[in-house]
Amino acid sequence: MIVDVVMPKMGESITEGTILEWYKKVGDVIEKDETLLEIGTDKVDSEIPSPASGTVSELLANPNDIVEVGKVIARINTDENSKQIDKIETEKSKPIIEKVETVIEKSLPLPPSESVEKNQKKVIVKKSENTNSAIVTPAVMRIVSQEGISLSELELIDGTGANGRVTKKDLQNYINARSDSNLRPIKKSTSKPASLPNIQDGKKVQIDHMRKMIAEHMRYSLDTSAHVYIMNEVDMTNIVQYVDDKEKSFLTKEKFKLTYTPFIILATVSALKEMPEMNSSIDGDSIIHHNSINMGIAVSLDGGLMVPSIFNCDEKNLLGICRDLNAMVSLTRKRRINPDELQGSTFTISNFGVFDATIGTPIINQPNVGILGTGAIKKQPIVIERDHSDIIAIRSMMMLSLGFDHRLIDGAGGAIFIAKVKDNLENMNLEDLL
């Protein structure tokens, strides 16, 4: 019998995927659950296993082809006489996503249209009054931004997607046709040598998909937001002592280590409650004030970075944040994080202090308007005023750096926000937190 392999749905907001590589060719024998191909989306790369044992009879898409979710991409001819085939399971089998390779940031900065939260809205391109609005995917919006295509020009493209949606392939065909017709708008030219000078001998390798996606999202964020940075120094001595005191008992009870990050999240959430404009997004000429605080946490991986989200942090106490953070980081590092958890953040924290970095200027995670960077906690001699006298004491100090979008947040607002985070950390009531 013939078993269809379809493009799997990898998240609520993901409607298509790109064929990255076929691991088998027509005529090859494949076992059930053996990897058949690798696909990529705006969020993740995934290895897709075969739903049945048999022989690959057809491959219906080529590498780099963009295919809508649910479309047949391959067929497998099973041996009906084989004892290894369970006919009932074969008929019901579907592609299974086993390995999440990368993000797309969600880790990372994302176009303002992306979100799985009900409180955040999708980007809609408004067409003429006699036509229906068509939802545009973040991938399309990124290409539109990169190519300098106006929304009025986008309306002219005939979409082949569901409900007339313009797909990436539609947009690419339009760009190619426009280029051939010499209709491409004049863009600012940048001087670039025809080839890089041979400074030294070395091996030239292709950039992998994860690195490409990170590069695109970072460049997109810098092109979108007016980045401004403010720094402040925080006395973390009380929290450091608290963690030292609770470390053993917490590990015994919860089976994972107590870290400083949950305290930073708690202090940041409290500041966001007081300044909701920092928990917002810009959508064209409008501001989206999010009802929930969803904290994106930058997680470093081998060869890349992901930014999964802890949802509804404003409804959680310290212990709840500790548990959610531990589970999220564990799944991310095992590359088992759900694609829907890689988006929907309303604010982001990047803790480069774990790598002993003192200070940094992280790039805003789109569509957020702010990102908090936390440096390493180090003991320093600090001047403290007590009873109108100055004394020198050894304190555990940490540098905070706040990156914010100047289109919405002014310098005064950024300074007030980081001061609130600092005050929340230095004066946190640690009694009965755990």
DSSP labels, 22-41: ESS-TT-EE-TTSEEEEEE-
DSSP labels, 292-359: S--EEE-EEETTEEE--EETTGGG--HHHHHHHHHHHHHHHHTT---GGGGS--SEEEEEGGGGT---
Closest CA to 41 of 310, 338, 296: 338
End-to-end CA distance of the chain: 58
H or E stretch including 390? strand 389-405
3-state secondary structure of 380: strand
For residues 311 and 331, give the distance between their C-alpha atoms in angstroms, rounded to a whole number: 15
Chain-centroid distance, C-alpha 292: 18
Catalytic residue list contains 217:
no
Q: Half-sphere exposure (CA, 13 Å, Cβ side) for 114?
A: 34
Catalytic residue list contains 406:
yes
Q: How far is CA 207 from CA 138, 198, 214, 287, in A?
A: 22, 19, 11, 36
The answer to whether residues 339 and 333 touch, using CB atoms and an 8 Å cutoff, is: no
For residues 331 and 335, give the distance between their C-alpha atoms in angstroms, rounded to a whole number: 6
Q: How far is CA 308 from CA 89, 117, 282, 357, 363, in A?
A: 34, 13, 21, 22, 16
Out of 4, 86, 227, 406, which one is annotated catalytic?
406
- The residues annotated as belonging to the active site are 406, 410
